[in-house]
Structure 1
Amino acid sequence: MRSCGPSLIKYILFAFNVLFALSGLGILIAGAVVLSDVSEFNHFVEGRVLAPPIVLIITGLVIFLIASLGCFGAIKESPTLLLTYAVLLAIIFIVELAVGIAASVFKKDLEGMLKNSLMESIKRSNAEDNQAWDNVQRKLMCCGVDTPADWREHSLNHTLPASCCQPQYIEASIGHCKESPALGKDKYFQEGCVGKLKARIDKNAVVLIGVGIGIAFIQLLGIALACYLASAIRQMRQAN
């Protein structure tokens, strides 16, 4: 009867690690999706915006290895392997928690950073900047930092780019739309890009925070199970 408890915990821990491996896959996929989405606009964002999803991708890969160790330790009933597993799980927990907190803190400074980056890019208006702007304006259907007037006031040629023009008004012969009064309010995108880009990154941050912190607290159960099983196995062996 005394072995019934640890044996049950062993199988529970084994099942937990199967789910843990699947959660690793979920973390990896979430990190890859966010990285793919944000990297489209990496010309305007700092490296720290890309860091959290990269960390989660690496964490997802490591989780597979840790889950395998947990399964092996449970089957072999090895206290050393189980405690090693618990320590590694605790480290992953801290990493995921840190990623979630970093993403939350970074959201506070995001708009200011984006606004400065976008405005500096308009002022430079070189080929690389213009290509990046064309990408973000077409995909997010926006124009300028806050308004289309930003191009008139701050760009080198003081002209709105073709990517500010709504697709239905672009004339094939010139690849642009003929400008109308008041910055073409009837033909050009009127919403600035800083708000839309921030909303896009905020949405991804919510995914990172939810996945990182949500799965991190579930891992506490794995740590508790591993420590309990290691302690129970040692007590049984000492009793025998």
Structure 2
Amino acid sequence: METKGMECCKFLHFVVNFLIFIAGGIILGLGIWVKTSSDATKILETNQGSMGTVIAMIVLGATLTLCGFFGCLGAALENKCLLGFFFTLILLLFLAEVAVIIIIAVNIPKLGAINTSTMSNTAEMKKWDLLQTSLQCCGVKGPQDWGINIPASCCKTSKTCVSSSTDLFKGGCQANHNQMFWIIIGFAIGSLFFEIAAMVSACCLCKNVGSYSAEVTAINRS
């Protein structure tokens, strides 16, 4: 019969990795949806950093899903080799994620920079309309970026706006766009805690698997 410590570690490890598996699936699904959505793609095309972030989301989601699967499998089979492989995979993911978070945080002004040259291009207006209605913003820094030709997508409800209108998004898209990167960083930091818990539970389970196997061997010999 398994010891209480073994049962506790096994349960903890399975729960943590199941949550990682679910979180990875959600991130992966969201990344694929954004990448394949025509409207979302048009918004992302206004900034190269956004497209790179979506690709990073897909890679992160796929890796977390894979880690969660191996973690649950290792707990179910009580296999030390599988648990060791899982620990190594999670550790590498943890280090890579910390590095990416630091890089994104330091380079947010550059990554989040919106291409202002497209504002004078009528062919790009549909992208701007989608960006402004989605983020509820106007221009890069504010409505003044459009001069007297403020597009209808800057208006909250009406079809025409001027700079003095109350029915106008006052904030610029640059600030809202940068805020999206900070939200992504927040989620990434949250996932780091799950990864730490997964590594601790893997070590705990691996140690108890060895102790439990020794106890079973001793009982069988006696």
Q: What amino acid does structure 1 have at the position aligned with 2:195?
A: Q
Q: How far off is 1:187 after superposition?
A: 5.7
Q: Secondary structure at the match of 2:158?
A: helix
Alignment correspondent of 2:220: none
Specify whether residues 38 and 82 from structure 1 end up closer, same or farther in structure 2 by C-alpha distance, changes over 3 A only: same
Task: For residues 86-136 of structure 1, give each alpha carbon's deviation from its aligned partner in whole angstroms, at most 9, with x where no partner exists.
Answer: 11111222333334323322224357x33xx21x224xx344234434444
Alignment correspondent of 2:24: 24
Out of 190, 209, 216, which is 1:233 matched to? 209
Q: What amino acid does structure 1 have at the position aligned with 2:118?
A: S
Alignment correspondent of 1:85: 86
Contact residue 141 and residue 175 of structure 2 kept, 8 A: no
Q: Are 2:135 and 1:142 aligned?
A: no
Alignment correspondent of 1:100: 101
* Cα distance in structure 2, aligned partners of 1:138 and 1:70: 42
Contact residue 27 and residue 59 of structure 1 kept, 8 A: yes
Q: What amino acid does structure 2 have at the position aligned with 1:49?
A: S
Specify whether residues 141 and 201 from structure 1 end up closer, same or farther in structure 2 by C-alpha distance, changes over 3 A only: closer
Where do residues 91-240 of structure 1 align in structure 2 (5 Å cutoff)? 91-109=92-110, 113-114=113-114, 117-118=115-116, 120-122=117-119, 125-137=120-132, 140=136, 142-143=138-139, 148=144, 160=149, 162-163=151-152, 166=155, 168=158, 170=160, 184-186=162-164, 196-237=172-213, 240=217
Extract unaligned runs of 5+ from structure 2: 218-222
Alignment correspondent of 1:44: 46
Extract unaligned runs of 5+ from structure 1: 153-158, 171-176, 178-183
Question: What RMSD over aligned residues (CA atoms) do the two structures have, in Å?
Answer: 3.7
* Cα distance in structure 1, aligned partners of 2:129 and 2:185: 30
Q: How far off is 1:32 after superposition?
A: 6.2
Q: Secondary structure at the match of 1:89?
A: helix
Query: Structure 2 length normalisation: TM-score?
Result: 0.72
Q: How far off is 1:223 after superposition?
A: 0.8
Q: How far off is 1:33 after superposition?
A: 7.9
Contact residue 70 and residue 85 of structure 1 kept, 8 A: yes
* Cα distance in structure 1, aligned partners of 2:153 and 2:76: 62
Q: How far off is 1:143 after superposition?
A: 4.8
Q: How far off is 1:227 after superposition?
A: 2.0
Q: Secondary structure at the match of 1:17?
A: helix
Give aligned pairs, total: 212
* Cα distance in structure 2, aligned partners of 1:129 and 1:110: 20
Task: For residues 169-223 of structure 1, give each alpha carbon's deviation from its aligned partner in whole angstroms, at most 9, with x where no partner exists.
Answer: 64xxxxxx8xxxxxx545698878xx52122223322321111111112211111
Contact residue 27 and residue 212 of structure 1 kept, 8 A: no
